[in-house]
Amino acid sequence: MAELLKYSLEFQINSSVGILYKRLSNPSGLAEWFADDVILNKKTYVFYWDGSEQNAKLLKKKENEFIRYKWEDTDDESFFEFLIQIDEMTSDIALIITDFAENEYEKEEQINLWEKQVESLKRAIGS
């Protein structure tokens, strides 16, 4: 199996940490920007898009700092993570998204998708 490409994207977000974390960690918050609908079933998040669904397990989280998910249909080391970083000097808030791609083409496609989704996130929180 080919080596996965790990990459991170950073977005400036004008929001409080608590409001941002809720949009990244709870089903109703995720449904506002990431998927059409999200249902939490024990520790499995079920994401719905245009009639299809995909399950993700919650791997790790630390309230108001980060949350890491893993798609259940992957058997590799990949995950996707939302990390909230606060600049000590300016108090600016950055959202750092870490994800994996199989190749450069897929990485570019995913980056474009993340950029669109983060625009939806910013609209959802009025950023």
Domain count, the chain: 1
Return the CATH number at 74: 3.30.530.20
What is the model's pLDDT at position 1? 54
Tens digits of residue pLDDT in 23-48: 999 999 999 999 999 999 988 999 99
Residue 45 near residue 58 (C-beta atoms within 8 A): yes
Find the length of the chain. 127
The 8-class DSSP code of residue 51 comes to: T
Which backbone phi and psi does 85 adopt, to 5 degrees? Answer: -120, 130
pLDDT for the residue numbered 2: 67
Buried b (16+ CB within 10 A) or exposed e, 95-117: bebbbbbeeeeebeebeeebeee
- Ranges of residues in the chain with a pLDDT under 70 are 1-2
Q: What is the pLDDT of residue 58?
A: 94
In this predicted structure, what is the pLDDT of residue 25? 96
Q: Supply the range of the domain harboring residue 60.
A: 5-125
